[in-house]
A and B are shown apart, each in its own frame.
Chain A
Amino acid sequence: MRSPRQCGGVVARVAALGIATVGLWVTAAACDPQTRYRVLTTFVDGVPPYDEWLNPKPEPPRKREPVPVRYTQRAAALKIGAQPSLQTFFSGARPAADKVTAYAELVAMLPKDVADALDWDAALQQGLIAPATSLTPGESGLQDADMEVDLKGPMPVKFAHAPHTKWLACENCHTDIFEMAAGTAEITMDDLNGGKYCGVCHGKVAFETTACARCHPDMGQ
């Protein structure tokens, strides 16, 4: 920064003097409350009367807004165990997994598959989770089916309906994703990874397409 002397001229000297005076005034204001009040009212609007400003009334405690919780904390805030409505819907004893509030905790609790990922099927079979199959209590929304479909090709698959029908009703897959007649779809791994056919669920909410041996027994891992 250039000094006033470098600028030269009377204007600069007057300006420097002015700035210095204001500076001194403001500095002095740090000591004396009356001066500080004068400085404050000069520069700021809406200052309360002097007495009130000098001895401010204690503010009533503010009611705090609920703080939004982060995703990782949110599940804890759900207080699953304290939901009267869901407890009414599920009248019987419920598995411990119901109360889990973080996905990592669930993964640690439930069985793993060949790819070391959460094995939902095993969890269901072992009764570690007990999802209802219908919104009408006591009614099943699922239909049993156990036929197996041989998917032919270089990497054959024996598709088993049975584990699927523990989760899904016929209309979940047929006929939007697969025709009813077996063998009508030509399925590639690229299709799956692109979210078609099995890839509508597998790789998203069902086990990953990298868990090869769960479909291709020849590729034992």
Chain B
Amino acid sequence: MSCHRWSPRAAACVVMTVAVLCGVTRLATAEPAPGDLTLKRTGDDGPQGHVATVFPHWRHRLFFTCNVCHPSLFPMKGGDTAITMDEIEEGKFCGTCHNGKIAWGVSITTCVRCHAEQ
């Protein structure tokens, strides 16, 4: 007698596959805005490390004109500046404003504002 019932393992497999496909579709449909920069992560703190961040350029230009950040903090051709959290905390790069004085400062409570799952 043939037996074609789903085994729990096969069912779990199907559920996982559907979940992964849903996740991939959602990622693919999350359209970035013009000028968004995905900052590549080069840190070696493994799976526990912070996730990469997308810099939303459009939000920043609501508050500041180009000359405020370019070219003194960041060159006009974007994406090549290596930035560390230490440098930000020293007041360089993003830390020029993100210091709690001009814009919100970087702290353990603000990580996910930039290091959010994409």
Binding site for B on A (CB under 8 A): 66, 68-72, 74-75, 77-78, 83, 85-86, 89-90, 97-98, 100, 103, 106, 120, 129, 131-135, 141-142, 166-169, 171-173, 176-177, 195, 200-201, 204-205
**What residues on A are CB-neighbors of B105 within 8 Å?**
85
Asked if residues B104 and A85 are in contact (CB atoms below 8 Å), the reply is yes
Asked if residues A200 and B65 are in contact (CB atoms below 8 Å), the reply is no
The stretch that binds A, out of B9-17, B41-49, B82-90, B94-102, is: B94-102
**What residues on A are CB-neighbors of B26 within 8 Å?**
70
Asked if residues A204 and B34 are in contact (CB atoms below 8 Å), the reply is yes
The A contact surface, by secondary structure, is loop
Given contacts A78-B113, A167-B65, 14 further A-B contacts (CB under 8 A): A68-B117, A70-B116, A77-B112, A77-B113, A83-B103, A106-B58, A131-B62, A131-B63, A131-B65, A132-B63, A135-B68, A135-B97, A176-B75, A205-B61
- For B, the interface residue count at a CB cutoff of 8 angstroms equals 40
Q: Considering only CB atoms, which chain A residue lies closest to B115 in the complex?
A: A68
Q: Is B39 an interface residue (CB 8 A)?
A: no
Asked if residues A103 and B33 are in contact (CB atoms below 8 Å), the reply is yes
**What residues on A are CB-neighbors of B61 within 8 Å?**
120, 129, 131, 167, 205
**What residues on A are CB-neighbors of B77 within 8 Å?**
195, 200
**What residues on B are CB-neighbors of A85 within 8 Å?**
100-105
**Residue among B26, B59, B62, B115 with most chain A CB within 10 A:** B62
Q: Is B71 an interface residue (CB 8 A)?
A: yes
Asked if residues B116 and A205 are in contact (CB atoms below 8 Å), the reply is no
Asked if residues A69 and B65 are in contact (CB atoms below 8 Å), the reply is no
In the complex, A74 Cα to B32 Cα: how many Å? 13
**Residue among B65, B113, B115 with most chain A CB within 10 A:** B65
Given A86-B104, A103-B33, A205-B34: A69 touches B70 (CB 8 Å cut-off) = no
Q: Contacting A74 at CB < 8 Å: which of B33, B97, B112?
A: B112
Asked if residues A135 and B66 are in contact (CB atoms below 8 Å), the reply is no
Given A69-B116, A167-B65: A205 touches B54 (CB 8 Å cut-off) = no
Asked if residues A68 and B104 are in contact (CB atoms below 8 Å), the reply is no
What are 7 pairs between A and B in contact, CB < 8 Å?
A: A70-B30, A77-B112, A134-B68, A135-B102, A166-B65, A172-B70, A204-B34
Asked if residues B76 and A74 are in contact (CB atoms below 8 Å), the reply is no
Asked if residues A168 and B54 are in contact (CB atoms below 8 Å), the reply is no
B34 to chain A: closest CB distance in Å?
Answer: 6
In the complex, A135 Cα to B67 Cα: how many Å? 10
Given A85-B102, A132-B64, A205-B35: A176 touches B76 (CB 8 Å cut-off) = yes
Shortest 8 CB-CB contacts between residues of A and residues of B: A103-B33, A169-B67, A205-B35, A68-B117, A74-B116, A131-B65, A133-B65, A167-B66
**Residue among A66, A98, A205 with most chain B CB within 10 A:** A205
**What residues on A are CB-neighbors of B40 within 8 Å?**
none
In the complex, A200 Cα to B105 Cα: how many Å? 30
Q: Considering only CB atoms, which chain B residue lies closest to A95 in the complex?
A: B62
Asked if residues A177 and B112 are in contact (CB atoms below 8 Å), the reply is no
Q: Is B107 an interface residue (CB 8 A)?
A: no
Q: Is B51 an interface residue (CB 8 A)?
A: yes
